[in-house]
Structure 1
Amino acid sequence: MPLSDRGLLLLGLVLGSFCTLLGSVAPGNNSKGHLTEAEPSRADALNVLLIIVDDLRLSLGCYGDKLIRSPNIDQLASHSLLFQNAFAQQAVCAPSRVSFLTGRRPDTTRLYDFNSYWRVQAGNFSTIPQYFKENGYVTMSVGKVFHPGISSNHSDDSPYSWSVLPYHPSSEKYENTKTCKGPDGELHANLICPVDMADIPEGTLPDKQSTKKAIQLLEKMKTSSSPFFLAVGYHKPHIPFRYPKRKIRQSYFASVSYMDTQVGHLLSALDDLQLANSTIVAFTSDHGWALGEHGEWAKYSNFDVTTHVPLMFYVPGRTAPLPEAGEKLFPYIDPFDSISELMEPGRQVQDLVELVSLFPTLAGLAGLHVPPRCPSPSFHVELCREGHSLLNHFQFHDLEEDLTLRGNPRESIAYSQYPRPADYPQWNSDKPSLKDIKFMGYSIRTIDYRYTVWVSFNPHEFLANFSDVHAGELYFVDSDPLQDYNMYNETQGGDLPQLLTP
């Protein structure tokens, strides 16, 4: 059905908004993109611990999920500024990670699959760890930070991003080994199951190894004269589900609790080493995961369930008082201890924010110059960012003030996109290679709506044709929080909502 004049106008606004985003100055910075407050000396520089979890939806106690036992992450949230409405830019590991680690959107990194390296395909863009490295930090990577393979040049973007070679657990290579004991008493290759450590090669698991390595690095950095940037990437709950559907949710939740124990041990070590008073801790996920919503048990969409992610920042003395001598902010909590209680998160922000904001926000919180906003196009610019800085949300003075921070969430917008090879489902619909992409779904999420248009896309020129619309989606979030009822066709004869009007 052809679009109404109003529909065409909104399509123009969709495309225009992506371009406009590149040119404005974020609140909280001056016109040069620098922090408005004085920068600390190198002696006072804050360390950064960035924790990235794979495929983690908002299945955490601090986000209101009562079925999950995640006391260590909840404890972190109680000392952090927690963003209730943070969104990834594409619900696939490699594109999402490259996007938020460079501060550029997928249309700029030109990565929509796993098969290209942005420095070759798009531009020699700086990354978050590279920027910290160039500003005197020792930068270290443990586990899955960049997606391994072509998308990070088979090197986790070394040597650009890291001061030392990135660490990957040796037990990763046993991912498909038969370690799950079945009813027949034999070991099978199911990857989600309770395992006996005696049946596991090397007697350990990747995330346990990553935690151990990260703690060793923290111990070494305790006596270093240089500040550090340590990124730790956990694999769970990213897993191929091979249980019957009735067990998928149970297995996913168990994986989250297992990952929570690893985060708990890591943060407890930060306390033990007396680094909690000098280290920013940022926690997020690359994207979410559907557990049956829309009949899906995966990611690969623009729906909230796959793009909505946890995001929180602990900043010593800013989001929580500095710990006193001997005080532990992050004592380890056993997720299955019956006496553990659900902790309330600290300050919360309702505004919609995006993971591309991670770069300018971490830079600003650490006292570095916030990289300038990117021009359009920006393929020739090595250091700039397309995300808004979130520093204005940290500009509070009284630690006892209202814990719910509100800007004007109705003025905030988050963008995501997803490629498809055809109008109808086929064998490669979920993860098409670049050469097979024929359509791109551009999606706008406001506090009230999710609005998506599927337009033709030229993978050779990386161009979307917004005059060739193949489908649309419109969901009213308040009345349809799971986004099950597409109202797009019902609006074609009348007015579409003013999604981009304050």
Structure 2
Amino acid sequence: MRILLLIFSFSLLFISCNQKNKTQESSTQKPNIIFLSIDDLRTDLGAYGNKEIKTPNIDALAKTSMVMLNTHSQAAVCAPSRASALLGYRPDSTKVWHLGDKFREINPDAVTMPQYFNKAGYYTVNIGKIFHNYMPDSISWDEPDLKPYPYNTKEYSKRDAETYYYKPASLKDQKEKREILLEKRKGKVVYGDGWNRGPAIEDANVPDSLFYDAMQTKLALETIDRIKDEKEPFFMGLGLYRPHLPFVAPKKYWDLYPVGSVSPAANPKLPKNAPVMSANANYELRAYTNPYKIGRPEDESLPESYADSLKRGYYASVSFIDACVGKLVAGLKERGLYENTVIVLWGDHGWKLGDHNGWGKMTNFYIDTHVPLIIKGAKQQEGKRIEALSELVDVFPTLCDLTGVDKADYFQGTSLTPVFKNPELEWKDAVFTQFRRRPRISKDGKEYMGYSMQTKQYHYIEWYHWDNIKKEKGDFAATELYDHYVDANETVNVSGDVDKVEIVKSLSKQLAKGWKGALPKSVL
């Protein structure tokens, strides 16, 4: 009997110690990470002060998160923006300057953010658009490029996820336009297998569950169920495709925005005195079916009724994505994972909705470079709205600090954790963006590189001729200067004004010093 009691006592001690060890392990385990990229998302969110758009779920997340109010992308187009954010250094270092530049071919030994966190003990999973559509970079992930059924079958392998329509008329138009394109480009490789054609807008009266991003969100939660009990924390890259063109969203989200209910662009014209290379050509919208001719920004504006439809379509798409974010957050909470998960919600660049008479991105204008960045830390209870200038290249080192992972010495961004603790801390003097203007898009047929710097007051840009064979800038071409204290919507380029000569000289010197010259004194 005494032997049995002794065995029982040792058993209780073993169980108690084992439970204690498990508790210690769980309490010291690094937090999970949801890296939530939303394509073409500008700062039209309730959390950023837009009172017309309906984004209750993102707004709720923002209330207990760090909301960076002045974040800028490193380039206002997908591939270079994402390459910079995910490698931790800027476009002139990644050498990714435009859509066709494949970062892995250019930087074969690069260590991406998911690779970096994998080496730090994270299990990495990719669902949706994290890198550019056709370059998922499979070596970055333990589980790369997961797709919901049936979109993971061979039939859909060449298609981009934003190319799905739901109305018979839309599907018919898409098929006809694709056949015309394939005939015209016979024998040549066609981007997305030619499916990026069809109406620019669609309000299908079908359930959310049939839409690709809703299916991705469901797949994300199913995947989390499968991996959440593993020893390693997980890093999930979830890339939602809307509000990328075409503006296809369930009708119930369109119904949130009746005709004429959204305000037109506050700055519907190109800036006065804007140089020739400053504007994009609206070619992205032009690829879709529109009831009116889509001209260049230098041409006549679209009819108000169609401009209104396009903007409502964008807003409906954002509200649909907001519902997906709500389901993701609710799912994390239901699984008891929300508290110990870092969530980074970000847009890769802005998007013109008639601003500067433009539709799309691909400029150095503020409306294209300014992006939302919302970061919820593990066990975070209090949210803050932070005015400090920041950049997407800052996300990588910030994530390291939030998870206790050592930062690399080659990072060209700055961890934002100091301003999380003290939003009034003296911070960066400026943030930096650039854009390569290709000859077939530039109105004068020449090629340029524009280097942009945003300070608290000024937005300053220098354009240079660009040699894309040698990959180097040539002669100076033009300057832009916008004083945001008096002209927040960038309606007049004042770089040529007599009273701005000294300001231009000073800003030019500051731009030449680059990001290293703008580092906060507290981190030098």
Q: TM-score range by the shorter chain?
A: 0.7 to 0.9
Q: What's the offset of the Cα at 1:476?
A: 0.3
Q: 1:273 aligns with which of 325, 332, 335?
A: 335
The partner residue of 1:484 within 470, 474, 491 is: 491
Partner of residue 355, structure 2: 293
Residue aligning to 1:368: 405
Checking the alignment, whether the CA contact within 8 Å between 1:475 and 1:485 is kept in structure 2 is yes
Per-residue deviation, 1:168: 3.1
For 1:139 and 1:449, the matched residues in 2 are separated by 40
Residue 390 of structure 2 aligns to a residue whose secondary structure is: strand
Q: What is the one-letter code of the residue matched to 1:416?
A: T
Matched residue pairs, number? 398
* Alpha-carbon distance in 2 for matches of 1:288, 1:394: 24
| C-alpha distance in 2 between matches for 1:438 and 1:96 | 20
Secondary structure at the aligned position of 1:494 is classed as helix
Question: TM-score normalized by structure 1?
Answer: 0.74
Q: How does 1:183-332 map to 2 (within 5 A)?
A: 189-197=198-206, 204-240=210-246, 242=289, 244-317=306-379, 319-320=380-381
Q: Given residue 395 of structure 1, which amino acid in structure 2 is its aligned partner?
A: K
Instruction: Determine whether 1:347 maps to 2:354.
Output: no
Q: Distance in 1 between matches of 2:437 and 2:131?
A: 23
1:167 aligned onto 2:146: yes
Contact 1:95 1:106 in 2 (8 A): yes
Is the 8 Å Cα contact of residues 413 and 445 (structure 1) preserved in structure 2? yes
Per the normalisation by structure 2, the TM-score is: 0.71
Kept in 2, the 8 Å contact 1:180–1:187? The answer is no
**Is it true that 1:50 corresponds to 2:63 in the alignment?**
no
Are 2:114 and 1:116 equivalent residues in the alignment? no
More helix by share: 2
Structure 2 Cα separation of the partners of residues 354 and 208 of structure 1: 29
The residue number in structure 2 matching 1:19 is: none
Partner of 2:72: 87
For residues 467 and 321 of structure 2, what CA distance do their matches in structure 1 show? 40
Are the equivalent residues in 2 in contact too, given 1:360–1:385 (CA < 8 A)? yes
Q: Which has the larger radius of gyration?
A: 2
The letter for the 2-side match of 1:59 is: D
- Structure 1 residue ranges (4+ consecutive) displaced by more than 6 angstroms after TM superposition: 184-188
Helix, strand or coil for the counterpart of 1:208? helix
- 1:371 is aligned with what amino acid? A
Shift of 1:113: 2.0
Matched AA of 1:406? E
Structure with bigger RCO (C-alpha 8 Å, 6+ apart): 1
- Aligned residue type for 1:179: Y
- Whole-angstrom distance in 1 between the partners of 2:424 and 2:446: 39
Distance verdict in 2 for CA 1:177–1:361, change over 3 Å: closer
State whether structure 2 residue 394 is matched by structure 1 residue 357. Answer: yes
Shift of the alpha carbon at 1:136? 1.1
Shift in Å at residue 224 of structure 1?
1.4
User: What SS class does the counterpart of residue 353 from structure 2 fall into?
Assistant: coil
Q: Residue 343 of structure 2 contacts residue 375 of structure 2 at CA under 8 Å; is this kept in 1?
A: yes
Alignment gaps of 5+ in structure 2 = 1-24, 175-197, 247-284, 291-305, 511-516, 519-524
In 2, Cα distance between equivalents of 1:294 and 1:283 = 27
Q: 1:278 to 1:488 in 2, by over 3 A?
A: same
Alignment of 1:179 with 2:196, yes or no, is: no
Q: Structure 1 residues 176 and 471, CA, compared in 2 at 3 Å: closer, same or farther?
A: same
Letter in 1 for 2:225: E
2:415 maps to which of 374, 377, 389: 389
Aligned to 1:128: 113
Q: Is the 8 A contact 1:180 1:191 kept in 2?
A: no
Q: Distance in 1 between matches of 2:105 and 2:308?
A: 44
* CA distances 1:290-342 after superposition (whole Å, capped 9, x unpaired): 1111110110101111110000111133x416xxxxxxxxxxxxxxxxxxxxx
Deviations 1:428-468 (A, max 9, x none): 339x9xxx973100000001000001012221222223xx2
